[in-house]
Chains A and B, each alone.
Chain A
Amino acid sequence: MVQANTLYRHVLSVTTDYLGPAAQRFVDRQIDSHINKPPDKLTKKDLEKLVEWSKVSMALLTNDQQLVDGYVRSLLKLTGDEA
């Protein structure tokens, strides 16, 4: 599923801007825990749910709401890119 892999890579790229080397572990954990599928099977349909859970997790790491909102906006843009 080339499209899912691309989507996963884009999610990783966005998350890396915030979590650096921990990005892949973070994203894999969110997908595994809340989407219940392997990361390379991520689809656009899963993305909204992933964004919701990632927003909650990111909010636990920082009090900077602007930063969290920026992360969410960047992830939501991917739904538009995939359309």
Chain B
Amino acid sequence: MRTYNFARHKPTSRAYLLFVLFAVIYIALTFWLPANPTTLTRYNLTPERARGLSLAVILPYIIIWFIAFFGYARLKRYVNLIERSPDGQALSRIANGLLILAVGLPVAAILGKLLSYTGNTHPHLIHITTITSVYIDLLIGLLGMAAVYRGAQRLALTVNQKVKTSPSYVAMISLALIGTSYAYLTFTNPARQFPTEELGRAAYYLPDFLLLVTVVIPFVAMWYMGLHAAAYIQAYRRGVPGVLYRSALGYLASGIVFIILSRVTARYLTSLNTVVSTWTLNYLLIAVYCLLALIAIGFILVAKGANKLKKIEEV
């Protein structure tokens, strides 16, 4: 008689419970906290209409969070089947990294809401709440990406002990383009340290030196780890035998690339806050939906790849 292995499924069950908890907290905060008066004025909204529009954002957010937790849970279920093998241990690290990134989505949203409310009701704290929000986003991204990177490196080493540790030319050029353009956008943002007339809030409230050392460089480092992780997974995919195995792995690799892309895009939008602030509500919603779609595609591909790999272990 087949029995349900609770121990094996504990981490995935916990992940879904976490999702439910975060969703409930976020919905409660959205309807309990008053709307930002500046936002109401900028978009000519009544508090009631703002609440209604909140639904247009909450529901996609919660759906995306579910997809992210679902993607992690599927990968974890597969990893649990092969945890003793070298590839299983490496994939376990990647799964942990994806969990951090998945948890980071609701945590950043909830903390962002609380910090934003604190900043609006206590204007003398706005610089602290803004900086805290930036650093939390950075910390989550760094921890998650570092775990994915370490796992991907370990994975590549299982097929090739001499796997190249230096990134490919394409990765280096991509990183240089992304890094320099992000730095350019950040340091030419007139609202980076102090609020402007149009914007009641600065993007960072940090002097340029601290902005460079504690924000720009760490974010570029995070993207470096992400790009390198994607390169390692590709190297593993090229070196590992098994035509069916490689096909399934392709979905996982593509998913991780999409997840990395979504983090880059999100950070770009933040550095463009003076431009974004001039957008109409419709364009803003479209941008949010596009970002959420990127995240969703990433985690759906991870789930699909994990399902295919899991099937190989079950037939």
When the two chains form their complex, are residues B311 and A19 in contact, meaning their CB atoms are under 8 A apart? no
When the two chains form their complex, are residues B241 and A26 in contact, meaning their CB atoms are under 8 A apart? no
Residues of A within 8 A of B240 (CB): 20-21
> A20 CA to B245 CA in the complex, in Å?
6
Q: Is B166 an interface residue (CB 8 A)?
A: no
When the two chains form their complex, are residues B311 and A62 in contact, meaning their CB atoms are under 8 A apart? no
Q: Is B315 an interface residue (CB 8 A)?
A: yes
Residues of A within 8 A of B312 (CB): 19, 22, 26, 61
Known contacts being A26-B312, A60-B315, A61-B312, is A21 close to B245, with CB within 8 Å? yes
Q: Is B242 an interface residue (CB 8 A)?
A: yes
Chain B 152-192, CB-CB to A under 8 Å as 1, else 0, gives 00000010000000000000000000000000000000000
Name the distance in Å between A65's Cβ and chain B's nearest Cβ: 13
Known contacts being A22-B312, A22-B313, A26-B315, is A17 close to B82, with CB within 8 Å? no
Report which of A17, A62, A67 forms a contact with B241, defined as CB distance below 8 A. Answer: A17
Name the distance in Å between B306's Cβ and chain A's nearest Cβ: 13
Nearest chain-B residue to A57 (Cβ)?
A: B315
Known contacts being A57-B315, A61-B315, is A20 close to B82, with CB within 8 Å? no
Tally B residues with Cβ within 8 Å of A. Answer: 17
When the two chains form their complex, are residues A62 and B244 in contact, meaning their CB atoms are under 8 A apart? yes
Residues of A within 8 A of B313 (CB): 22, 25-26
Q: Which of B311, B313, B315 counts the most chain A CB atoms within 10 A?
A: B315
Q: Which residues from 187 to 219 on chain B have a C-beta closer than 8 Å to any C-beta of chain A?
A: none
> A8 CA to B112 CA in the complex, in Å?
58
Nearest chain-B residue to A20 (Cβ)?
A: B242
> A19 CA to B309 CA in the complex, in Å?
10
Name the distance in Å between A71's Cβ and chain B's nearest Cβ: 9
Residues of B within 8 A of A19 (CB): 242, 244-245, 312
Nearest chain-B residue to A67 (Cβ)?
A: B243
Q: Is B113 an interface residue (CB 8 A)?
A: no
Residues of A within 8 A of B87 (CB): 21
Nearest chain-B residue to A53 (Cβ)?
A: B315
When the two chains form their complex, are residues A20 and B241 in contact, meaning their CB atoms are under 8 A apart? yes
Chain A 51-70, CB-CB to B under 8 Å as 1, else 0, gives 00000011011100001000
Chain A 1-27, CB-CB to B under 8 Å as 1, else 0, gives 000000000000000111111110110
> A19 CA to B242 CA in the complex, in Å?
4
Q: Which residues from 301 to 315 on chain B have a C-beta closer than 8 Å to any C-beta of chain A?
A: 309, 311-313, 315
Residues of B within 8 A of A58 (CB): 315
Nearest chain-A residue to B237 (Cβ)?
A: A20
A20-B244, A22-B309 known; 9 other A-B pairs, CB under 8 Å?
A16-B241, A17-B241, A19-B242, A21-B158, A23-B242, A25-B313, A58-B315, A61-B311, A61-B315
18 A-B pairs within 8 Å (CB atoms) are namely A16-B241, A16-B242, A17-B243, A18-B244, A18-B245, A19-B244, A21-B86, A21-B87, A21-B240, A21-B245, A22-B313, A23-B242, A25-B82, A25-B313, A26-B313, A61-B312, A61-B315, A67-B243
Residues on A lying within 8 angstroms of B by beta carbon are 16-23, 25-26, 57-58, 60-62, 67
